[in-house]
Chains A and B, each alone.
Chain A
Amino acid sequence: MLSRTASALYWLGRYLERADFIARLVEATVRLDALSARPAGEAAWVSALTVSYTDEGFAATGLATNQANVARYLTLDATNPGSIVSCLEKARNNARAVRTALTRESWTAINRAWWLFQNRASTGGATQTLSLVEQVKGETRGFEGAIHRMMRNEATLLIQLGAAVERADNTARLVDVKYHLLLPAGESVGGVVDRDQWTTILQTVSAVTAYRWLYSEGLQPANVIDLLISRFELPRSLAACVEETVGLLSQLAKRTGLQGEADRMARTRMARMQKTKTQDVIVSGLHEYLEAFIEENAMLDAAIARQFRFI
């Protein structure tokens, strides 16, 4: 496989996963904004910007932080490199560059998602925004389905590897920001807004039902953190993404004979996480733990690029 193809496939996986994550984030934030009995709406949109690392960019637009502006910025704004439309544009460009490595089904899923955003100036109200992000999620799910029908070769594995690395990063940011999200004045930890925020996290990663299955108690922040960091059963947990990364790297090694630093880093990280107890993480500093995770993830990303000779 060409080095450029390998790189484009990996980044295709990353960008599409990111588009999906932003879609989920917008969906969860719209719900949080709508369901909240208190004036928590603005805080919800602030946190959505923080999670997606687009808060500075949004501040530069000078717009008021409300649903219409932030939802538009996160979905349709081509000047925001982290918006859904920007991620889809980059995913589609990568996909076009490596069309020959994709099946028609995989390509058309990306192309359809991209077309959703063409010639669209406004997201409309909450209902239309929800419907738009729902369609994005549908198309990215369609893409995931399509790649499971591709040949199980390097191309598929590299797309999945990109998605797994991206997903780990997204989940880590989500937990980090929510844990530090300031509650509006007068709100207490464990109060209604606090609860809504934790529920939103679970919604963002489609884990409300999973939480109920795994924890018999009601909503406890420590349990949410445990679920999102350590539970291998949850596909978007850090543990699951880390495990998936190790597996994909070793399948790639089998097919290509390329094995090295990236494999060692990924395996070391998994071994460490298997011994990590969530309670200890919380006690010794969740924020520091997550920051270190995000940094380590970026180092792994660089090691992957070296190992597969990305250009």
Chain B
Amino acid sequence: MGSDGAFDEIWGEGGPDAPRSEFAALAQWVADTPASELQRRQQSAEAAFRQLGITFAVYGDSDAAERIIPFDIVPRVFLQREWEKLSEGLVQRVEAINAFLEDIYGERRILAEGIIPPELIYNNEQFRPEVAGIRPPHGVWAHICGIDLVRTGPDEFFVLEDNARTPSGVSYMLENREAMIRLCPELFRDFHVAPVDSYPDMLLATMRSVAPGNNPKPMCVVLTPGHFNSAYYEHSFLADSMGVELVEAADLVVDDDIVWVQTIAGRVKVDVIYRRIDDEYLDPLTFRPDSLLGVPGLIAAYRAGNVALINAPGNGIADDKAIYSYMPEIVRFYSGGEAKLPNVETFRCREPDALRYVLDHLPELVVKLVDGSGGYGMLVGPTASKGQIEDFRAALIAEPHRYIAQPTLALSTVPTLTDNGLAPRHVDFRPFVLTGSDGVRVVPGGLTRVALREGSLVVNSSQGGGTKDSFVLMDANGGAMQSQFAAQFQSQRQGG
């Protein structure tokens, strides 16, 4: 049984002696491999990560400027049917996110029809009037989405958060898999695990598919803030695995609404930029004039249709926590059907009834800043002190519109290696969804984050969380699953 009575992804409700029937073999592997051996393999993986520099920087922590994210050797597992159901929900949700962005920066039908209160858009810091009226090449806004999911039971999946700006973690998905193949090859002999290593090819195909014009060999680059950024490893990893240039803003220059990259042979025209720089640092002429990171004129080039920006600027309005609570309505409005992946029940503190409920139930709820991230600015009611609860009460009363609240979910657990052997630890899951002009793609896998402290629900790496590999087990005939998805949903995409 999982910690706090939560559902365990491998052991189910029955505990280590009676695992979920589909995972008996995996539970057997866990039982047969001595903890000391698992420990040894895990340390070997972490040593390799350190040597490869798979590190992230912790801001404000100069003593440990570089850390590796702890890696746990016991994978979390999905059955193929679970995965297929999830994928359908993910594709539907990401299509709705794209349609919403197209609408909100264009016709704004959803506001006209009263589905979303207009002030929620216009007063939102994530809304960028600077890009209103711009239609990105091929009409794609959220090319790369990381949808954070949690699970509370065999068939209960909920979306916790949408990440439609610059979601990170895909390098861990791929590196964790590499480590598992090297350290636990027997698992891949015994189980049909869907491969994830097609991700870089899919990403490059997605990038090429949205290039402006008809250039058969568009110049694609990854734009990084530089090697001091916490996700720099991922930036270099992605550029490297796609075989494209990793550029910094200083390498780019805009001339006559064309973006150029400065090479030893002179300037080369750039068609597609996968930018890992936040909107406000992209272009000092449009956004923050004090930023040295950006490329002056980039947004003008984008407006002129000469370059594709991945993801499109302005996407923050779609993954904002205040908008999140409207996602069921958004999905219904654009797809005509009910959301296949439900939200976690969410109280919008801006609404007086909801605020009253939240204030009355603070010790049971998780309260979040609508514009917070990384586990900061968050109250976890059940584990918070009286003082913390009172601080949040005061903050909520002062500025209710800045907060949402959700019930504390019994997040599922996965057996995890601890100092005292295997024990259940809570996890969440971030799959990556790619949208190009030619369809939506989901690679069968994702990033599982695990809260390493007993009972903790906070999985963020900046808060001491770790990661696990995520296996999607295929049926005997499951090999073509991935390509079926691409084809199936290609026909459903609008625009182009």
Contact = CB atoms under 8 A, between A and B. Distances in A.
- The answer on A and B forming one complex is yes
From A6, A100, A104, name the one whose CB has the most chain B CB atoms within 10 angstroms: A100
B52 A256 contact: no
A111 interface: yes
B265 A257 contact: yes
Nearest to A111: B53
Given A99-B240, A257-B265, A108 B245 contact: no
Interface residues of B, number: 22
A108 B52 contact: yes
A4 to B, nearest CB: 5
B361 to A, nearest CB: 47
B240 A108 contact: no
From A3, A309, A311, name the one whose CB has the most chain B CB atoms within 10 angstroms: A3
Contacts of A258: 264-265
A93 B227 contact: yes
A309 B246 CA distance: 18
Given A2-B251, A96-B236, A99-B236, A111 B264 contact: no
B264 A1 contact: yes
A107 B226 CA distance: 17
A4 B52 contact: no
A108 B51 CA distance: 6
A154 B265 CA distance: 12
B233 to A, nearest CB: 8
Contact of A96 (B50, B227, B261): B227
Interface in A152-171: 154
A112 interface: yes
A100 B251 contact: no
B265 A256 contact: yes
Contact of A107 (B52, B239, B263): B52
Contact of A4 (B53, B239, B240, B248): B248
Interface residues of A, number: 24
A6 B262 CA distance: 11
B245 A309 contact: no
B83 interface: no
A97 interface: yes
B300 to A, nearest CB: 23
B250 A100 contact: no
B262 A309 contact: yes
A11 interface: no
Interface string B230-255: 00100010011000011110110000
Contact of A2 (B53, B232, B262): B262
Contacts of B264: 1-3, 6, 154, 256, 258, 308-309
A111 B50 CA distance: 9
Contacts of B265: 1, 256-258
A3 B251 contact: yes
From A4, A112, A258, A308, name the one whose CB has the most chain B CB atoms within 10 angstroms: A4
Contact of A97 (B227, B240, B262): B227
A212 B347 CA distance: 84
Contacts of B246: 99-100
Interface in A79-125: 93, 96-97, 99-100, 104, 107-108, 111-112, 115
A143 to B, nearest CB: 14
A107 B263 CA distance: 22
A3 B51 contact: no
B262 A104 contact: no
A96 B53 contact: yes
B245 A2 contact: yes
Interface of B: 50-53, 226-227, 232, 236, 239-240, 245-248, 250-251, 261-266
5 contacts: A96-B236, A99-B53, A99-B236, A256-B264, A256-B265
Given A256-B265, A309-B266, 15 more contacts: A2-B245, A2-B247, A2-B263, A6-B264, A96-B232, A97-B227, A99-B53, A99-B240, A100-B246, A107-B53, A108-B52, A115-B50, A154-B264, A309-B263, A309-B264
Q: Which 8 A-B pairs have the closest CB atoms?
A: A99-B236, A96-B227, A100-B240, A308-B264, A3-B262, A100-B239, A6-B264, A100-B246
